[in-house]
Structures are given as structure tokens and as C-alpha cells.
Chain A
Amino acid sequence: AQSVTQLGSHVSVSEGALVLLRCNYSSSVPPYLFWYVQYPNQGLQLLLKYTTGATLVKGINGFEAEFKKSETSFHLTKPSAHMSDAAEYFCAVWQSGNTPLVFGKGTRLSVIA
């Protein structure tokens, strides 16, 4: 079975600083990996996803993530944080067989002016 671990339930960065949100997965087969974002009082929306091909994936709002098989990681980055990036971020992995996505516990990002 596949699972996903997000390191750090809360991350604070200053406006303009690098954003790095960590996600590690466990999988016995090639994974399909997703990052979703949840803004306050809203549902989740897709930020980016890795399926096959290029390991550096670009998403919306300047975010990107790199699939590193050797490290079983799919960390999310953004070069310069903006106040509007304050949200909760969820990493998710496709579980084997016919069962749907498995989500991590989430990381809340705070951006300090």
C-alpha cells in the first residue's frame, strides 16, 4: 500500500522568502503524486501533479515540485512567498489497485509580512 508523509504541520515564511513544503511517499510501484491547496473556508483545488515524464512539474501560482525517486520525495517549492499563498497544502499519492487518492495530513503555510 502507498502512503504519504508531510513533514511539518505548520510552516512560517516571510513574504518574499523561499517556500519549501516537504512530502515523502512510500510505494512499491511508480507513484502518481499530487499537491492540492486549500484556502481558508474553501474546498481543495489542484496545484500540480506528477504522472509520467518530466520530473520537475510546474503548477499554478508559481509553485513547482520535483519528483525524486531516489529520495521518494515530491517537495513543493516557490521562490518567493506572497501573502496570498497562506493556505493549507496537501500532498497525495495514488494508491494501488482501484482505490482512490491517499492524502497526507497537510501543512499549513503562514506568510509573515
Chain B
Amino acid sequence: NAGVTQTPKFQVLKTGQSMTLQCAQDMNHNSMYWYRQDPGMGLRLIYYSASEGTTDKGEVPNGYNVSRLNKREFSLRLESAAPSQTSVYFCASSEGQGRTDTQYFGPGTRLTVL
């Protein structure tokens, strides 16, 4: 039982390049999330998927797109990377979107945009 896995762990991009961050969970969870973590800013929600087939914007969605490929996988795409997107990205999942549901986090992807 691997929990939440993310690939890659590290990535360096040049401004304007595109890339997709992959996330998968093996806990049969319905809801999945993408966050970015920046110093002094805490975690900010980029997009989430309450259930397979649905996605919704979070606090900072500009410059990102997501795809809920199936129940297990939720990818985050940067179409044209900018230095402001340099951050650590975390994927998380939870059984549902209920108020008491615990979110389980992946190990993160450190992205640098030059």
C-alpha cells in the first residue's frame, strides 16, 4: 500500500516550457487535491476533484490545468511555465469531501522554473 505517489520528485524547467505532474493513490479515495507550498504562504489549493469526473478551481488556479484520469490518478499540467510557479507541489487524497475526512499527502514535487 503505497498511499499517494507523485512523479517526478524534482524538476527544472525553462520559462515557457510545459510539463505534467503525476499523482496516483491506491486507497480507493474519491477526492483528490493539488496544492502548492511557498515559504510564508502555507498551502494553497490549486484544483481539486471531489469525485471521478469532476474538477473544481481552488484558491490559485491560474496557469494550471488538471485532469482526473480515473479514480486513482489526478494530474496537474503547466502549459507555459513561469518563474512564479517555482514551488513545491503536493497532491493529496481523501475518502470523501466530508468535513471530517482526513487528507493523505504525497511526498511532493519540487519545481524550479528558470
A44 touches B90 (CB 8 A): yes
A90 touches B43 (CB 8 A): yes
Q: Which of A32, A41, A43 contacts B105 (CB 8 A)?
A: A43
The verdict on B74 contacting chain A, using a C-beta distance below 8 Å, is no
Q: Which of A90-105 contact B (CB under 8 A)?
A: 90, 94, 98-101, 103-105
Q: Which of A34-92 contact B (CB under 8 A)?
A: 34, 36, 41-46, 49, 51, 90
A9 touches B102 (CB 8 A): no
Chain A nearest CB, measured from B82 CB (Å): 23
A36, A43, A51 — most chain B CB neighbours (10 Å): A43
B42 touches A51 (CB 8 A): no
A100 touches B100 (CB 8 A): no
Assembled-state Cα–Cα distance A9/B106 (Å): 23
Q: Which of B40, B42, B102 contacts A103 (CB 8 A)?
A: B42
Listed A/B pairs (27) with beta-carbon separation below 8 Å: A34-B102, A36-B103, A41-B107, A42-B108, A43-B92, A43-B106, A43-B107, A44-B103, A44-B105, A45-B104, A51-B100, A90-B42, A90-B43, A99-B56, A100-B31, A100-B33, A100-B45, A100-B48, A100-B97, A101-B45, A101-B103, A103-B42, A104-B42, A105-B41, A105-B42, A106-B42, A106-B43
A interface residues (Cβ-Cβ under 8 A, vs B): 9, 32, 34, 36, 41-46, 49, 51, 90, 94, 98-101, 103-106
